[in-house]
Structure 1
């Protein structure tokens, strides 16, 4: 008796993993200038000197993390051959969804000797965690690079970026050297830092700009050589995926997703060649999936507000003012057993953030002396995507 998989005997993929987000390429393409700036910023490590702080800026999918992984591997390998270089220790952490205490505690736990008890979750404060971090740094010695991804998501980045770079100057450490590599999706992140932190950092800034269509084609062709069985993927399909991504976000991750999903469409339909039409159809699927992920990334109350606006959209009640949205939002929050935000200003702040993220269209209204100035909001995406995503989230958490 044949099973549901018995007829699946062929695939157009030779190595599909190179089209996944987790794949780390051995060769970094189209980022030569950024790599050169990076290498100059970190060269002091090779001579046993205190490393410069480095900050990388750019939207998601522009190669910041991939370049950093590559540079850390290369630096680690090169430092091991240099007599002047100290032992190099690289600590990578992502700040998304973490408080400052959680970040410092996690770093401490990674540095503790084998068999030691973890730093406690409760009972001690952030200052205690920093003290233990300094103790462990000096116990180990050498050069320590802290690679801090999504640092713009950290609730108290000022404290972290003041403490670590000044640890030696403030006599917290004497047997180790410390440097920071900060990675941010927010080009304006530095503007939010306090003046004393800006003066302390003295960092090298490296900005990652969007890829153009030609650069994305180069990246996709290189991936396609390994990903597909020979002759499967048309060059025009690669050009199509590159062009669509360049027109949208200039994002390599998006271009690779277009190529992967388009190939999956072709394989699902029994086609042995990936062509332009498959890529075009993949665009809708990829964009829908990315929207769902963006919705999931919002705070709990941000999601409730989106759900409220989707409700108003399905009832043809948009555009709407913030007060009208607040009323529906409170009903949504109550339905989910949550206490709603108590002030209109809090709701307006969320609406402003959702507008900046591209979820909402905002219209400024001016009614003169009689009505004053105010904003009205409407959705800039299909409300069904919000409703379906929220339903899945609720099902997964219930």
Structure 2
């Protein structure tokens, strides 16, 4: 008796993991200038000197994290054969959704000896965590490069970027050297820092620009050669995925996703070769997935507001004024057992942010002397995407 998987005997993939987000290429393509700048900024490590602080800027999918991982691996290998270099310790932490205390505590626990008790989650403050961090850095000695990915998402980032670069000059550490590598999707992140932090950092800035269609074709051809069996992907499909991504955001992650999803579409349809039509079908699926991720990245209350407007949209009650949205939002927040934001101004601030992020269409109304000027809002995406994403988030939390 045949089962549901009996007919699945062939695949066009040779190594599908090459198209996954977690894949780290052995060679970084089309980022030679950024790698050269990174190399110069890291050279002090090879001579046992205090490392520079480095900040990488660029939108998601432009290779910042991949280049950083590659550079850290290359540096670790080079340090092993350099007599002047100290022992190198690389620490990586993603700051998205983290508090300053959580970040410092995580660093402490990474540094602790295996037989030591973890730094407690409660009972001690951020200052205590910094004290223990300094103690552990000096216990190990050597050079420490701390990579803070998505550093622009960290609360109280000024404290972190003031404390660590000055730790040695302030006498907190004497037997170790520390350098910070910050990765940010926000090009204006530095402008938000305090003046004293800017003076303290003295960092090297490396900016990652969007890929053009030619660069994306080079990246996709390399991935396709590894990902697919011979002859399973048309060159025209690679060119189309590169062109679509270059026209949109110049994002390598998006281009690779188009290629992977296009191949999945081809397999579902029983086709042996990925072609332009499969990439076009993948475009809709990838865009839907990107929107889901963008919704997940929003704060809890911003998600409640999106859910509220999606429900209003399904009932045909849009565009809606902020007061109407506030009333629905309060019911949604109550349903999830959350305390709603109490002022209309806070709702309007969230609506403005969601409009700027492209989730909402905003209509300006002017009723003259009798009604004054105001805004009405509606979604700029399919409400089902919002509601399905919210349902997934709730189920995952449960």
Same fold (TM over 0.5): yes
Shift of 1:79: 1.2
* Aligned residue pair count: 398
Shift of 1:19: 0.4
Shift of 1:317: 2.4
Matched, 1:350 2:375: no
Q: Which position in structure 1 is the counterpart of 2:30?
A: 30
CA distance in 2 between counterparts of 1:396 and 1:76 reads 38
Q: Which position in structure 2 is the counterpart of 1:283?
A: 283
CA distance in 2 between counterparts of 1:155 and 1:369 reads 43
Correspondence 1:363-382 to 2 at 5 A: 363-367=363-367, 370-382=370-382
Correspondence 1:165-244 to 2 at 5 A: 165-244=165-244
CA distance in 2 between counterparts of 1:2 and 1:54 reads 58
Shift of 1:81: 0.9
CA distance in 1 between counterparts of 2:363 and 2:206 reads 35
Matched, 1:61 2:61: yes
Correspondence 1:323-362 to 2 at 5 A: 323-362=323-362
CA distance in 2 between counterparts of 1:371 and 1:30 reads 56
CA distance in 1 between counterparts of 2:350 and 2:215 reads 36
CA distance in 2 between counterparts of 1:262 and 1:69 reads 28
Q: Which position in structure 1 is the counterpart of 2:123?
A: 123
| Deviation larger for 128-137 or 312-321 | 312-321
CA deviations 1:325-368 (Å, max 9, x no partner) are: 11111111122222211111221222122122221122344555
Q: Secondary structure at the match of 1:107?
A: helix
Q: Which position in structure 2 is the counterpart of 1:320?
A: 320
CA distance in 2 between counterparts of 1:59 and 1:388 reads 26
Correspondence 1:257-296 to 2 at 5 A: 257-296=257-296
Change (3 A) 1:269 1:139: same
Matched, 1:394 2:397: no
Q: Secondary structure at the match of 1:177?
A: strand
Q: Secondary structure at the match of 2:178?
A: strand
Q: Which position in structure 2 is the counterpart of 1:4?
A: 4
CA deviations 1:151-170 (Å, max 9, x no partner) are: 01101100000000000011
CA distance in 2 between counterparts of 1:255 and 1:118 reads 41
CA deviations 1:110-168 (Å, max 9, x no partner) are: 10112000111111100000000000111111110000001011011000000000000
Shift of 1:381: 0.5
Please identify runs of 4+ aligned residues in structure 1 that moved more than 3 A. 363-374
Structure 2 unpaired stretches of 5+: none
CA deviations 1:53-87 (Å, max 9, x no partner) are: 00001111110000000000011111111111111
Q: Secondary structure at the match of 1:328?
A: helix
Q: Secondary structure at the match of 1:392?
A: helix
Shift of 1:392: 2.2
| Deviation larger for 251-260 or 326-335 | 326-335
| Deviation larger for 295-304 or 177-186 | 295-304
Q: Secondary structure at the match of 2:377?
A: strand
| Deviation larger for 357-366 or 206-215 | 357-366
Q: Secondary structure at the match of 2:165?
A: coil
CA distance in 2 between counterparts of 1:4 and 1:310 reads 37
Q: Which position in structure 2 is the counterpart of 1:104?
A: 104
Shift of 1:188: 1.1
Q: Which position in structure 2 is the counterpart of 1:162?
A: 162
CA deviations 1:186-215 (Å, max 9, x no partner) are: 111111100000000010111111111111
So what's the TM-score if we normalise by structure 1? 0.97
| Deviation larger for 93-102 or 311-320 | 311-320
Q: Secondary structure at the match of 2:247?
A: helix
Q: Which position in structure 2 is the counterpart of 1:42?
A: 42
Matched, 1:72 2:96: no
| Deviation larger for 311-320 or 57-66 | 311-320
Shift of 1:370: 4.6
Q: Which position in structure 2 is the counterpart of 1:20?
A: 20
CA distance in 2 between counterparts of 1:371 and 1:36 reads 60
CA distance in 2 between counterparts of 1:366 and 1:203 reads 48
So what's the TM-score if we normalise by structure 2? 0.97
CA distance in 2 between counterparts of 1:175 and 1:288 reads 51
CA distance in 1 between counterparts of 2:109 and 2:230 reads 47
Shift of 1:5: 1.4
